Amino acid sequence: MAAQKGVLFTIDELQYLSRDELSALIVGLHRVSQLGLPFLVAGAGLPSLPGLVGEARSYAERLFSFVEIGSLNRDDALVAIVEPVQKEGAEWQSEALERLLEHSEGYPYFLQEFGKQAWNASRQSIVRWS
């Protein structure tokens, strides 16, 4: 009796695979699909990824679904940047938060990077007493 389980691989930054590596991944996934195996890959990469996949294997565009994730709207950007800080018992100063939202334009990577740098800077400025 089959185990009735599957495998999921998640791969980020797929655009950094070489053409040969990307081609091998596509060929392998195509074969897995033909065999009906319970195997799935969810990948992420820059907007150039669909073109790179098409260059690696001409039939690849029929194998995959590409979903573009753009900038977050203001409310979603606020949730993404405020909630993790609140869970740590801290909060943003309103002026800093407004500047972050303005400069990131809701782009997820910039929200993440600006948030990380702000967090690191704030932790360095905290004096801990024993």
What tens-digit pLDDT sequence spans the chain (130 residues)? 467 899 999 999 999 999 999 999 999 999 999 999 999 999 999 888 988 998 888 888 788 888 888 899 999 999 999 999 899 888 888 898 999 999 999 999 899 999 999 888 887 655 444 4
Do 76 and 45 form a contact (C-beta atoms < 8 A)?
Answer: no
Sign of CA dihedral 17, 18, 19, 21: negative
Burial (Cβ within 10 Å: 0-12, 13-18, ≥19) of residue 39: middle
What is the pTM (predicted TM-score) of this model?
Answer: 0.63
Quickly tell me which residue has 């990577």 as its tokens: 109
pLDDT, residue 104, reads 93
pLDDT, residue 129, reads 42
- Dihedral angle over CA of 83, 84, 85, 86, nearest 10: 50
pLDDT, residue 128, reads 46
pLDDT, residue 120, reads 86
